[in-house]
Structure 1
């Protein structure tokens, strides 16, 4: 019954078990015993028996987590991702309803794990639920980041300087810059010719670049308590590279403010699907409409990290506009035609990644790399770099940086 749910959630969460449409799940793949546990969690949720519902939901999440982490992600049946979302929904509502044992941050984290690992159900209910929970958390404190993080104030954090050699751009190898080309000009002169180019003055209408400028303080306020996946290590080709889940507050404190000796990078994450408030601060460039797909097919990723993060030399299968919102990055580009000179890894997993350390190459091991022609640039705030499909690119951040990539076919 709706009256058994917390009042703040009644406009988001359906009022009865029937409205969840659990019968649409594939019972043949889930199995009758597992489906029974899921249904029992829902039944008790709407009866207001949160303790019992939470126990069933925890079992649902534990079992579906094992299914999600068995084999390659693309081979996981979507029904297990949907079930994980339902389990996260039930658990988060229970946590919020049992605030004598849990706080709102626990429920927010549960929603984020569901958004990261699950699949959208009920019109992406977790995204709408977490927005309500976050507003509730903000109402309990004057500064939202103080509610989300127990880290020391920024002024008390010791700062250790990190030195990096800034690149000198070869004037003969500069990526060309153009000022707001027309769609026709961009299509004919760059997309069809597979020519990298930097587009200037095309981001000034973004709220993130004018009346809602992105700063660490702003990102804390909007997303500080949200859980995100962070890459740990200088580059994903190293054996020591790993990933960890942490809040945006924790990430900023450890890897940006404190300047940890380790490198953390919030990289290639669909942050704007997870946090729609940040999505409102950016705009999809009109150039992305020149592809064969629909606007909904455009993949938008966030790249947020400290000075010194590196994306090893690699290529992607789609068109890419890399928009620099905060900070600057050094970029090196190699055409597909010189792929033999950049020595791709053997095997399927890293076939699109070079073995060469671009700025410190071992020319005895990779002699052809020295003769490979390339383009390079320093991508500045407010600029977009067009990278054609299968064009090799290496990227290093020169200071604290936030980039947004738009991939389209």
Structure 2
């Protein structure tokens, strides 16, 4: 249509557009919503966290969503197209407000499902802009589809990604497969405009003028950590279950050469490679703004990956006092599966784990943590100076360093009384797993001698706490046992991946051990 504002894209991209529109047409199928509307009109529903449907959103919202789905397929004038987008935006705003009204874990399912559903339909309508009024006819007759405009790609990526970040992935496997296919097709549509993004990593690095800056200074390491080179599962199990000291329990371990087969070690050094896996940097990511989550003024923003790189990564000499941006503790690999192809979950994460140490302040709480089905992966990507304050986690952790360097200081669980844990803060947030002590200040990583002297008076026992420390280099892994306090500070632009685990696959491991023991018994009886 002449009034869409779309320009015809490069040759050869029409088949991508047709496949994309066909998927989006399916996302606007009103049949399931019609069933929910019929159910809603015959019952009074109330939002319940255990209800896994849109039904508790209420009849008016369901009827509006159904009407918009039908209208998206009926189509009409370009005014109708804008009207549908506007009303879907209203539903998204309602869902977002409901999500913000609860702690994340307590948001009723119906509102996260509304956010996903309305967002996916809105993205689908975006995809049909250039065929509006004749989409169904074109699909039925196999007509040639115009290529997606850059504005359409922008709108679809932003709409879907924001929903995925705020509400999580769809629990409907078919819907999530459609969303994954949409992103793959949007990547192809982007490549039609930006063929340079399809270069091989080797060729791309020759043209890459923006490799990560690497200027940094290293602190002196006084209390070193044990080192192992690619330990076997059995050796790692021995390390965890038979510690040198029962008073301390299993200790941290620096693991070398575990990542030699990771493509990420080379590929993630190039910003152009990372952009090529994020639809030219369009994919949205959640970014923490501020030095650490305990600092005043700390906050979070959802921004395009390209903007994150430009604002927080590429400048090696940021202005004093400028904000720090950190893509922290986020499962980037579920959102962007292409990046998960560059990493391999270490086998060590499937070794049976010891229970929380008896000296841990959180022993009872950690005993109640459910067993993970698979290791929990998170990305940590930011400039020099990002900080994770001294804290402890409810899982065993293998932290893999991919790009850059990090300084890490660790304290055994028994040292907790010298680390001055926080309590419950305003709003009822339990911060007891985080220390009141600023390690950057106390370790003289921050040059503020007067503030340090004041802190020593406030925390007189801190200097008596025993610790170990390490600088993680690219390719290193650090095992952090459950309950160990740790402070993490990036010394350069840094990209890390953490793997949390707690007897992941323990049942399988137990079965293997039982079979192994039975085999030994059989061998003995044979003699």
TM range (shorter): 0.7 to 0.9
Deviation (angstroms), 1:264: 0.9
Q: Which residue of 2 aligns with 1:239?
A: 296
Deviation (angstroms), 1:167: 1.1
Deviation (angstroms), 1:61: 0.5
Work out which of the residue numbers 109, 128, 144 in structure 1 matches 2:158.
Answer: 109
User: 1: CA distance between counterparts of 2:260 and 2:286?
Assistant: 29
User: 1: CA distance between counterparts of 2:90 and 2:331?
Assistant: 28
User: 1: CA distance between counterparts of 2:215 and 2:273?
Assistant: 27
SS at match of 1:308: coil
Q: Does 1:324 align with 2:373?
A: no
Q: Which residue of 2 aligns with 1:72?
A: 103
Q: Does 1:142 align with 2:195?
A: yes
Query: Which sections of structure 2, spanning at least 5 residues, go unmatched?
Result: 1-15, 37-51, 131-148, 199-206, 244-249, 354-369, 443-454, 503-527
User: 2: CA distance between counterparts of 1:325 and 1:341?
Assistant: 33
Q: Which residue of 2 aligns with 1:44?
A: 71
Q: Does 1:401 align with 2:494?
A: yes
Q: Which residue of 1 aligns with 2:307?
A: 250
1:290-347 C-alpha deviation (Å, 9 max, x unpaired): 2588875321110011111111101100011100001110000001111111111111
Higher CA-based Rg: 2
Deviation (angstroms), 1:201: 0.8
Q: How does 1:9-408 map to 2 (within 5 A)?
A: 9-10=20-21, 12-13=23-24, 15=26, 17=29, 23=35, 26-48=53-75, 50-98=81-129, 102-121=151-170, 122-123=172-173, 124=176, 125-144=178-197, 166-170=218-222, 173-190=223-240, 193=243, 194-210=250-266, 212-223=267-278, 224-258=281-315, 259-260=317-318, 261-291=322-352, 296-347=373-424, 348-361=429-442, 362-408=455-501
Greater alpha carbon shift after TM alignment, 223-232 vs 9-18: 9-18
User: 1: CA distance between counterparts of 2:216 and 2:376?
Assistant: 31
1:253-283 C-alpha deviation (Å, 9 max, x unpaired): 1111124332111111111111011011111
Residues 262 and 303 (structure 1 numbering): CA distance in 2 closer, same or farther, change over 3 Å? same
Aligned length: 393
User: 2: CA distance between counterparts of 1:349 and 1:135?
Assistant: 45
Deviation (angstroms), 1:10: 4.6
SS at match of 1:390: coil
Residues 401 and 12 (structure 1 numbering): CA distance in 2 closer, same or farther, change over 3 Å? same
Does structure 1 conserve the Cα–Cα contact (< 8 Å) formed by 2:410 and 2:485? yes
User: 1: CA distance between counterparts of 2:334 and 2:345?
Assistant: 13
SS at match of 1:195: coil
User: 2: CA distance between counterparts of 1:206 and 1:371?
Assistant: 40
User: 2: CA distance between counterparts of 1:107 and 1:41?
Assistant: 17
Residues 37 and 190 (structure 1 numbering): CA distance in 2 closer, same or farther, change over 3 Å? same
Deviation (angstroms), 1:217: 1.9
SS at match of 2:431: coil
Q: Which residue of 1 aligns with 2:18?
A: 7
SS at match of 1:267: strand
Q: TM-score, normalised by structure 2?
A: 0.69
Deviation (angstroms), 1:244: 1.2
SS at match of 1:166: coil
Does structure 2 conserve the Cα–Cα contact (< 8 Å) formed by 1:83 and 1:118? no
**Considering only aligned residues, what root-mean-square deviation do their CA atoms show, in Å?**
2.8
Q: TM-score, normalised by structure 1?
A: 0.88
